[in-house]
Structures are given as C-alpha cells and as structure tokens.
Amino acid sequence: MIHLSTFFAIYVKFFFIMTPFFVTTIFLSMTKGIDESDKKRLAVKVTLAISITCLIILFFGKYIFELFGITLDAFRIGAGALLFLTAVDLVQKDINAEPTCKADILKHAVVPLAIPVTVGPGTVGALMVMGADMDGFEDLILGSSALLVAIFSIGLLLYLSGHIERLIGRTGLVVFSKVTGLVLSALSAQLIFTGIKNFLH
C-alpha cells in the first residue's frame, strides 16, 4: 500500500510537470491538416523520444551535481524557479501555435515536440532533482516506472488527440492547460521551499 501511494504521488508529479494538456494543444496545432494515421505515428515517435530523454536525465542527471559541485538543494531552488516560470507562462499566454507542414513535422518529431515542448528546462531540472533524491535500486525502479506510466499517459493523450479535441474542444484543452499551470506552480513552490529549508538546516 505504501509503495502504491508513493508510485501514484510520483506519477502525478511527473504527469503535471510535463504539462500534458499544453503539449496536446501544441501537438494539435502543429499537426493540423495531417492524416489521422500519420498523427498517431507521430504520437508514438514523440512518446518514445520523451521516454528515452527522461530516463537518461533521471538516471544520469545526478552526476552533473558532482561534476560542477552543485548542491542538490541549490538545484532544487533553481529547478523550482524554472518550473514556476513555466507555470506562469501556461496561465498567462494564449496557446496558438502555427500549423507546420506535414513533411517538417513528421521529420522533426523530437524537436520541438519532445524537446523543448514536453521536456523543457523546468522538466529537466525537476527530473534531475527527483533522480538525485532516489536512493537505492528499489527507489529507482519505482520512480522510473512511475515516470514511464506518466509518459505513456501523455502519449495516449497525443494518440487520441483528435478524439479529445472533438470531445472537449480546443477551448477545453486551453482551460486544462491553465489548471495544469496552477498545479505546476504549487509543485515549484514545494521544490523551492524544500531547498531553502534544507539549506537553512
């Protein structure tokens, strides 16, 4: 039961940190006019790219602390600040990406859809902090499993983006993006407060 609640808590954090509804909105805007089958193939490519990128950051990000001599709490504060800027951006801006031609978007699945739209600077910072917090093999397995399930959830949103758009409309997706921004601001504040508390102690 403890493992299940921890898994769910990590899953929710990862899911919201990657701003799923914002990513879905951008995906729909950039794939406007593309066949549904091509859109689904692109969703699979983007999901794989996000998975590989996030796992590399989660497992190897902590070595950057050792390389540059950065303390984990200092990085918590920095990552929290970046996440907060992302949250403010989500709440304030109008999401209206320009459609991209079919050849370009199918060729460049990793950039910009995987990086930096889904895995932006704030996400990278949060993943590095969470990876450094995971002590032992069991924690890494639990954390990486929750991360992969969160990425799969986002991939499912992209795969079914056409149906979701018809169900709740583009306006509904924008509203969900702004709600995600509010959750993200709370997560960023928690990161900053934890970093400051640990530094003072």
Could you tell me the CA-to-CA distances from 90 to 126, 152, 153, 179 in Å, in that order?
Answer: 17, 22, 20, 9
Residue that has been written with the tokens 């403010």 in this structure: 88
Predicted local distance difference test score (pLDDT) of residue 131: 87
pLDDT of residue 171: 85
pLDDT, averaged in runs of 10, over the chain (201 residues): 83 92 89 86 93 92 80 88 88 61 59 85 87 84 94 96 89 88 91 90 76
The helix or strand, by DSSP H or E, that contains position 93, with its residue range, turns out to be: none
pLDDT confidence of residue 174: 86
